[in-house]
Amino acid sequence: MYVAFFVFKRNLFCKHASTVKTLAMKTFNLFLVLTLILSLTTSSCIEDDSDSFCDSQLIYLSSLKANIEGLAATSICNENFECRYIAFGSKPCGGPWEFLFYTTSIDTMELENLVASYNALEADYNENCDAVSDCSTPIPPIDFSCENNQCIPIY
């Protein structure tokens, strides 16, 4: 009788162990599948977030550029105000996109700070959003003439 009970108990234990192994394997497989799905979804979200960041950054840069150019455009030249220029923008391969012309008739410190911020933001955009450009360099003016209260660069 003890032998029959021992064999019966052993068979129950083996069946229970087999069931636990099967359940553990199914759980592990489910975990792997969910991990894979989650990683693919997260990867897709990161790309979407990156694209969204780049799009919004480009819109912000365009708006900031228009404001800076608008401020520079309000400057006037005459015998009381000096014409100046500043490197404007940041090309992905280095250097500015252009030179911005302005005079001392406006708050030059404000303009220079705005341009420095813009250049730094565009450099950050270039690095994080894989921007490309030609590697040409704009030529700075050697002097200015003043016509109709506007600075005309001389190259």
- Please name every residue paired with 151 in a beta bridge, in sequence order, or none if there are none: 146
pLDDT in tens, 5-41: 444 445 544 555 555 455 544 554 544 444 444 444 4
Residue 92 lies in domain: 2-154
Distance (Å, whole) CA 97 – CA 90: 6
How many independent structural domains does the chain possess?
A: 1
pLDDT tens across 92-135, in order? 999 999 999 999 999 999 999 999 999 999 999 999 999 999 99
User: Taking the complete model, does pTM exceed 0.75, yes or no?
Assistant: no
